[in-house]
Amino acid sequence: AGFFGGIGRGVVEGPFEMVKVRRQVVSGWKFAEVFQGFGTTLFRNSFLFSSFVIYMDILKQQLVQRDMELPPFLKAGICANLAWFSVWPLG
């Protein structure tokens, strides 16, 4: 689920990121260039989302074993940060 969620986000995010960066550095762009770096964005996002789902599952199992409970917002925040640290070198 996380892998395909990352691909879906990458399909939408990739072109917008390219245009955003080109505008930030005041560089022109053409529609044909919109998908430059697309593969990297897809890889990063699919790895990020997959990592998030895996960390959520691991945390859930650890909490059950220890008979603990955390609020959903805190669990998601912990796992999102762990996932981000996992893909940070790819950024």
Q: How far is CA 55 from CA 3, 17, 50, 77, 85, in A?
A: 13, 26, 9, 11, 12
Q: Is the pLDDT of residue 28 over 80?
A: no
Q: How many CA atoms lie within 13 A of 59 on its CB side?
A: 20
pTM: 0.72
d(C-alpha 33, C-alpha 16), whole Å: 11
Q: Which of 42-46, 68-72, 76-80 has the lowest mean pLDDT?
A: 42-46
Pull the structure tokens for residue 6. Answer: 């990352």
d(C-alpha 31, C-alpha 15), whole Å: 9
Write out pLDDT tens, residues 41-56.
888 888 888 999 999 9
d(C-alpha 18, C-alpha 13), whole Å: 9
